Structure 1
Amino acid sequence: MTTRAIRGAITIDRDEREHLHERTRELVAAIMRENDLTTDDVISVIFTCTPDIVSDFPAAAAREMGFGAVPLMCAQEMPVPGALPLVVRLMMHAETDRARDRIVHVYLRGAVALRRDLAQ
């Protein structure tokens, strides 16, 4: 097994706790599914949010999905003028047999604009 970093992002429509949790779960589930991972494979997850998201921590949604034993951290993105608003990003570190070029980075909804080269 090798440790790999997996990137992903999703936009939310509004800064409301339940909506943030729903979209965070959507992103985490897609990354897990696309990379054939279980929570036992995950070493850690770093979440970031744009400064306009303050309703809750995305990590709270991951804990609801069974990530309670996985180290999770949340941080705020830099407030760059003109940047895409209402974005949750993550970097997941996981143990996998996949080669680096077979890792699937997941960009959903409006976040596709961030990395069109990686979005499916």
Structure 2
Amino acid sequence: MLVMPPTAFAPARPRPLTDIEFCAWVGQALPGDRLEYHRGFLGIDSAPVVSTLPEPDRRRLAALGDAAFRAFEAGLVHLAQLRLGPDRFAYLAIARGRPRNAPVPFARLLAEAA
């Protein structure tokens, strides 16, 4: 787990982020840019059986978590957590550098999200 000072990243948005907004951020982020995409306990908050979120919010969060993981697998971001307290974390995406000649697989991320 990466430990960063609390001021080193932008706080969570008042309106929950969608998977499409996350992909748009990945497409324009510069290396080192950070985005807090969830605050809570992602594994529980997005699980169908144990989440206390309303079903549309739980599905949105599950799609967002999937998009973040796909971006990680594509080598576009590092994923990190900052522990805020018991069972509460800030989930961060940190943009990675891209080789100059390698195209960004942004369209592939969007296609897989559909």
TM-score above 0.5: no
Report 1 or 2 for greater relative contact order, CA contacts < 8 Å, sequence distance ≥ 6.
1
Q: Which has the higher strand share?
A: 1
